[in-house]
Amino acid sequence: MPRSGALKVHLPFNLTPWSDKAKYIYVTRNPKDCCVSYYHHMKNIPGHGFKGTFDQFFELIKWNSGKIDYEDYFDHCLRLFVELSGLY
């Protein structure tokens, strides 16, 4: 079976394997959508079980971005911008 030529990953850009022969499409979501999705994820996953309101959750992640389970959204996007700036 021939290769599909596509690889979908959720890795930060700096951890994604690089090839000069490949073409890359980087898709990002609206930060508001990411925040709401993360809130529901943390409420519904056993072990996380966040019990507060969305407003409480937002305050928690706003001031503790370095202490959350996943990378800060804006740090993630900024890393890509910095990496690409060096390529061109």
Of 10, 40, 41, 76, the active-site residue reads: 10
The upper half-sphere exposure of residue 43, i.e. CA atoms within 13 Å in the direction of its Cβ, equals: 13
φ, ψ of residue 40 to 5 degrees: the values are: -65, -35
Report the distance separating Cα 24 and Cα 18, nearest Å. 9
- In the residue annotation, 41 being an active-site residue is answered as no
Active site residues per annotation: 10
